[in-house]
Structure 1
Amino acid sequence: MAAPRMPRVKLGSQGFEVSKLGFGCMGLTGAYNEPLPDEVGISVIKHAFTQGITFFDTADVYGANHANEILVGKALKELPREKIQLATKFGVEHIDFSNFQFRIKGTPEYVRSCCEASLKRLGVEYIDLYYQHRVDTSVPIEDTVGELKKLVQEGKIKYIGLSEASPDTIRRAHAVHPITALQIEWSLWTRDSEEEIMPLCRELGIGIVPYSPIGRGFFGGRGVSETLPPESSLKSHPRFKAENLEKNKRIYEGIEGLAKKHKCSPAQLALAWVLHQGNDVVPIPGTTKITNLDQNVRALAVKLSNEELKEISEMVPIDEVAGDRYFDKLDKIGWRVANTPPKNYGIST
C-alpha cells in the first residue's frame, strides 16, 4: 500500500489549516520507554514532514527539563517554519517527572510565563496552537482564557486550545475567546467523550485532536504481539496490567481479524477508524520508529464505509474493555476530563 498524498483540513472554525494526520512528539523524549538521542528524534520529525505531516504536537511538561520542546525546537531549525503548524501546551507544573509528580496550574501569570518560556525553548516567534494542557479547577477558566486572549492579540500565539476539559469549561472558555481545538484521548477502546463532548465541539465549531488514537500502541500489538520492555511505564498502566491485558487481548484479536479483511494492519485499521470520524478530527499518533510512522501515514489509504465503521466499533464493546484509561497517580491530580469521574471497565487493578 503506497503512501497517499496528505490531505489538508480546517481545524476549528477560525481558519486554522493543518495536515489531516498530525504527529505527537511526546514519546521521542521518553514517555513510555527510554528517550531517543536528539539526532534520532530530529530525524523522525523531519521524516514525518517529508510524508506530508505538518502539524506537530509537544508540551512544556514532556521529558525531563522540558526536553521535548527543546528537541522540537532543534528540528524546526531544519524545516521551513512557515509550513509547520506547531502546537504546545502549558498548565502542568513539573515537579518530579519520573514519579508522576505534577501540579495543575492555570493562573494568568503562569499562562504568560509558560508561553514566554516555550517560545524561547522552541526558538520561534509565535505558537500556532496553544493548549491549556489540563484545567485548573481552582482558577476560573475565564481568567485563564482571558490571558490567552491577550497573547493572541500580542501575536505570541495564533489559536487557543483546551485539553481534557469538561463541557461546562469548554462553553465558558469559548465565550471568552473562540476555542480552535480540543485535545482528548479518543480511540477504539476510549470513547467516553462521544456522548457529550464531541457533539458540543461540533456545535461550537471546535476541532477535535485525538491523542493515543492507537490505544498507546495496543492496536499495534504493544503488550500483545510484542512484549513490553522492562523499563516501559505502560507496565503500570491499568489496561496493560496482566489480568486486564489478558482480557483485552481478545479485543485485539477481533480487530486483527477485521484488519486482514481490509488488507491492513490492526494499527492502521484502528487509526483509520479515528480518521473516518469527520473532517474536523485530526489524530496525532506518536512513534519513535520511522517504519511505524510510514505505516500510520498509509492508514489514510484505508477506506471504510459506514457499515464497516459500525462493524469495527462493535468489535470493541466499551463495557468489555478491562482497566481504566489512565494511571492511578495521574488521576489523583485531575489528569482526565475536569470534573469527570473515572470509568472503570472490567477488571480493576
Structure 2
Amino acid sequence: MMGKHAQNRILAYSTPLVLIGILLVFVAAITLTGDKALGRMAAETLIRVVLVVGLWIFVGNSGVVSFGHAGYMAIGAYCSAWLTLKPQMKSLFLPDLPSWLAQAEWPVLPAAVASGLLAAFVALVSGATILRLSGIAASIATFAFLAIVNTVYSNWEGVTGATSSLVGLARYVDQWVALGWAAAAIIAANLYANSASGLALRATREDEAAASASGINMYRHRLLSLVVSGFFTGVSGALLGHSIGVLNPDSFYLGITFISLAMLVVGGIGSLSGAVVGVLSLSMMIEALVRFEQGISIGETQLALPSGAQEILIGIVMILVLILRPSGLMAGKELRMPRFAPRSPDYKTSNN
C-alpha cells in the first residue's frame, strides 16, 4: 500500500497536469472560434503565464517582491532580436553590433533558449549583489536594477535602437507555441518548488531566523531560484517580441512590471496555481474591458466604456480581492487531481 508521503508527492506533481490541461482547453476553445483577435489574446495570455510563473519561481518561494523582472524580460527580448533578425536589418538599425552577432541568423527555438540563458546569467550576476539584502531593501534594489536596464537599453542606440522601435522580428509565436513554453515553465516551476532547494527556500520565507538556525543557506537558495526565474522571464521577453514583431525598451518597464505583479497578487502569491489563475482571470477581464471600450451593440443600442476605464476597473478589482481575499483567489492552495484513496481490506459494499 502506498504511504501517505508518497501519495502527497504524487498529488503535488499532478498540479502541472491540471494547470496545463486548463490552458489546453482555453487554447482549444479560442482556436475553435476562428477569431484571429481572440487568438492573439490567447497568445499574449500564455506569454504572460510564462512571465508570471517565472516571477513566481522567485517571489512565491522566497517571499521577496521583485520589481526588476521586466529587466530580464528586456534582456531576453533583445537577445532574441540580435540572433534572429536578418543581417541586412541589423546593419540598418543596429550598426554597432559586433560582427559575429551582426551576421548571426539563428533558428527561433535556439534563439529563445539562448535568450533565456543570457537573462539567467544576468540574474546570477545581479542577484549575487541584490540578494545580500533582505525584505524591502532587496525589493528596492530590484527596482534600481530595472531602472538601470531601461536606461541602458533606451540610450544604446547602435545596439538596441534606443527609444526607436526595433521592427522586423519574425512573428512565429502563436497560441500553440506560447502554450508549449507555458507548459515548460509550469513543469519547471513545480519541479523547483518540490525540490530540496525550493522547500528550503520556503522555510526561509516562513521563518528566516529559524531556517538560518537550522543550517539553511538562504542566500544560495534565493540566488538559485532567481537564476531559474530569470531564464523563463527572459524567454517570455523573446516570445513577446516574436508575437508582436516590434521591440521598444518602454514595453519592458513599469507597465508590464505592475500588471505581472497584479496577476500574481490576484491569483495568490502562495501557490503556482494562483499564478496561472491570476493571469487567466485578469487577461480575460482586460480583453472584455478593451472590447467594451471599443463599444458593443445590443440591438440598436451602442454601449461603450469611457477611455481609460480599463485601468480604473482593474485597480478596483485588485482592491476588492485584497480586501475580501488577502491571500488571493487560490488562497495558497494548489489545483490537484482528486485523491483516490485505496480501499481498506475489510471494505464491504452495501450490496453484500
The TM-score normalised by the length of structure 1 is 0.25
Larger RCO, structure (CA 8 Å, separation 6 or more): 2
Q: Indicate the structure with greater strand content.
A: 1
Q: Indicate the structure with greater helix content.
A: 2
Which structure has the larger Rg? 2
